[in-house]
Amino acid sequence: MRLKTSYRQILSISVPIMLGSAAQNIIVLSDNVFLYHVSETDFAAVGLVGVFYLIIASIGYGFSRGGQILIARRHGEEDFKAAGNYFKALVLFELGLAVILFLFLMFGSEWFFALFIENEDIYKKCLEYIYPRSFGVFFSYVGCSFVAFYTGIARTKIIVYDTLILIVVNIFLNYIFIFGHFGIEPMGIAGAGWASTLAEVVAFLAFLAYVIFDKANKAYGITNTQLIKLKLIRQTFDISAPIVWQSIIGLGSWFIFFTFIENMGSRELEISNLLRNIYLILSIPCWGYSAGINTLVSNFIGNRKRQAVLPIIWKTAKMNLWNTLLFAVPVAAFPEFFLYPLFGSADMSLVNEAKHLMPILVLILSIFSFGSIFINGLTGTGHTKTALWIQSIFVAFYIIYSYIIIKVLDLGLAWAWSVEIFYWLGIFLVCFWYLKSKKWHLRRF
Q: How far is 273 from 413, CA to CA, in rounded Å? A: 12
Q: How far is CA 262 from the centre of its chain?
A: 23
Q: How far is 370 from 319, CA to CA, in rounded Å? A: 10
Q: How far is 54 from 47, CA to CA, in rounded Å? A: 11
**pLDDT of 307 strictly over 60:** yes
The per-residue pLDDT for range 229-260, each reduced to its tens digit, is: 677 777 777 776 777 777 777 777 877 887 78
Q: What is the largest CA-CA distance in the chain?
A: 63
What's the mean pLDDT in 372-388?
82
What are the residues whose beta carbons fall under 8 Å from the beta carbon of 9, sequence distance 6 or more? 3
Q: How far is 261 from 265, CA to CA, in rounded Å? A: 7
**pLDDT of 2 strictly over 70:** no
| Eight-state DSSP code of residue 136 | G
Do 86 and 166 touch, CB atoms closer than 8 A? Answer: no
From residue 166, alpha-carbon distances to 71, 152, 163, 191 in Å are: 25, 21, 5, 16
| Domain limits, the chain | 7-439
What's the mean pLDDT in 365-378?
89
CA angle (92, 130, 52) in 5-degree steps: 80
| Eight-state DSSP code of residue 227 | P
CA angle (340, 343, 345) in 5-degree steps: 80
* Position 89 confidence tier, pLDDT thresholds 50, 70, 90: confident
Give the model's pLDDT for residue 344: 57
Q: Which amino acid is at 320?
A: N
* Position 198 confidence tier, pLDDT thresholds 50, 70, 90: very high
What's the mean pLDDT in 81-105?
85
Percentage of the residues of the chain whose pLDDT score is greater than 90: 7
From residue 196, alpha-carbon distances to 175, 200, 217, 252 in Å are: 11, 6, 29, 21
Q: How far is 124 from 127, CA to CA, in rounded Å? A: 5
Average pLDDT, the chain: 79
CA angle (330, 280, 136) in 5-degree steps: 150
Give the model's pLDDT for residue 205: 93
**pLDDT of 146 strictly over 60:** yes
What are the residues whose beta carbons fall under 8 Å from the beta carbon of 124, sequence distance 6 or more? none
**pLDDT higher for 24 or 192?**
192
* Position 346 confidence tier, pLDDT thresholds 50, 70, 90: very low
Identify the CA nearest to 254 among candidates 47, 393, 114, 23: 47
Q: How far is 23 from 30, CA to CA, in rounded Å? A: 11
Least confident of 108-117, 336-345, 393-402: 336-345
Do 137 and 105 touch, CB atoms closer than 8 A? Answer: yes
Q: How far is 294 from 275, CA to CA, in rounded Å? A: 28
Do 228 and 163 touch, CB atoms closer than 8 A? Answer: no
Single pTM value for the model:
0.68
What's the mean pLDDT in 318-331?
88
**pLDDT of 33 strictly over 80:** no
What's the mean pLDDT in 339-344?
62
Q: What is the DSSP string of 298-358?
A: HHHHHTT-GGGHHHHHHHHHHHHHHHHHHHHHHHHH-HHHHHHHHH--SS-HHHHHHGGGH
**pLDDT higher for 295 or 176?**
176
CA angle (425, 429, 435) in 5-degree steps: 140
**pLDDT higher for 211 or 308?**
211
Using CA atoms of 239, 245, 248, 250 in order, give the dihedral in degrees to the nearest 10.
-100
**pLDDT higher for 365 or 381?**
365
The per-residue pLDDT for range 17-26, each reduced to its tens digit, is: 666 656 666 7
**pLDDT of 430 strictly over 80:** yes
Helix (H) or strand (E) holding 390: helix 384-402
**pLDDT of 74 strictly over 50:** yes
Percentage of the residues of the chain whose pLDDT score is greater than 70: 84
